[in-house]
Structure 1
Amino acid sequence: MSRAAREWAWDDSTSRGNARLVLLSIADRIPDEQCVAWASLASLMRRTNASRNAIRAAITALMKAGELEVLDDYDGPQHSTVYRLPRAAAWLAKVAAAQEDDPDAYVEPLTDADPVPELDGERLRRHGIWPKAGAESDPPRQDLTGSESAPPRQNLTPPRVRIRPPSGSEPDPQNRSEPKVNRRYSSSSAAGLTSAADWQVDDASLSWAQQQGHLARLGEHGLQAADAKWRHHRASWSPRSTAAWAADWRSWIAREHSPTPQRPNLYALPGGSPAPQAGMTKADLHMAALLAAVDEPTGTE
């Protein structure tokens, strides 16, 4: 069904620039003719390669044009924002009604008089979209793992930052583009605590690294090396919450030295024995060892 929504966005939307990219990104996630999908701000930033302010401005422009609605009464997984393409929903409903008896029937262009279909809450719940807490009539949420209507998701990690995905079964989103987040440990498992080795870098931490300039400063390989060092030094620490690990990881990345081509390799893990660079004198080797000792974290950060 996302294909029909994308075709409407390509052929009938009046949006331009970033607004058009945002509309197409949301349309790509739509699972049925209700034209409702959820998406996090971070995922839209990655898919459109636009800044946070640009995404917000695009959403505002689409709402003013009547091509996008934010369903404030609903929540997606991890409290992500729920969107609807009302004009696309009205168009699909009009096409379905016109071609019910004759599949080749001509469909008149969409007008403002064409109604937008009412939302079916039960169908929304099948795709992980629920009314916000507080309504007395809201039914309890169910585990939708294995739902036939939910397509499998793919585990997407940032380019070349190889973060190990958690194992086990997880609820499926309405599309396969949304990245996984830290949900391996439930409230019944050590109150949501996890180890440093199992903690996964979340969208907020990656966005922070990009916005603060650490990704540009370290480069993708440097960020990967810094992540590996952090996991090694935190391997013996007791389990903590994902929020605590995220704060500690950000602090580590902020203190990480930028790689310098002229400087000896100081990024080997403790206990390793990196091969000396060709042409290094004995004095250079001693200096490299001293600099590595200075850079070595003490464990009290």
Structure 2
Amino acid sequence: MVEIIKALNLTPEQEALVDLHSFLNVLNVLSAEMDLLALHLDRPESLKRGIGTVHEFAQALQDPFQAILWVRDIDAIHREIQQAVATAVAGITPTPAAQECLDNIEAVMAIFKTRVKELTARAGVPMIWQWYDLELLKEDLAILFQVMQQKSNGGFGIKHNIAGQEERDYLVKFDVTSRDGNQIFMPAVFNDVIRDLVANARKYTPPGGRILSGLDDDGQRIRFVVEDTGVGIPPGQVEDVVKLGFRADNVQNRRTYGGGFGLTKAYWVTQRLQGRMWIDSRLDQGTRIEIQFPRAPSG
């Protein structure tokens, strides 16, 4: 187990990009699905405005000032994207391939809407602490995995019970315990970290593998752990994986929608919370990541 202790030394622009990394991933997936839908339509020009808006939004997230302006007008942007998709398919019967894209877009837009609410809630106060219902936290992560499964077009399944796991299914577990019973008090941005690290674990684990994660608040500290049976990290590169945009040698050619910021964000958030982060990884066996930070008073 290696404790990550190196300094990140991010610029303000890089910090803004890292902070909004999770939202940027959603926009990248949405853009890809809209581009694919355009290939299956007779009048793809109807989608151009919506695709352009998604691209402009993604670009704006790289500038702190522009990001704030776009987030303030987020409801209008959301409606504009929805309208572009609706106009593109109005009056036609989509082909099966086009319908798959539409289903994926609808699922991603549901996540988009949730992320919009989260961004709005912490706008200007990135490290704000909030109360979360444990069941809703687990439901949010389950929805994320449902979208992953849907987008795989039958490539893999998601199971939460080992007795139901088949050869190309992932076994996914997420347990949450809190000294406050059915609620947990934690930084709003840490919800992003949980989703990013669990999604990373799935991304780098072949179908049939396991992604086990847990969140615990004992009243003194909050601890999060995620471990997988994936490809692992090459020896000598464990500490490097938190660098902005770094990708280990064994995953350089793997296609992803992210920018390689997930672990950077996790470590950046951990540092800002005066916490600690450890990584234990074995090549072709899997990776375990642990984060701990002090629990803030809840009033």
Same fold (TM over 0.5): no
TM-score (norm 1): 0.26
More strand by share: 2
More relative contact order, 1 or 2 (CA 8 Å, 6+ apart):
2
TM-score (norm 2): 0.26
More helix by share: 2
In our comparison, the structure showing a higher alpha carbon Rg is: 1
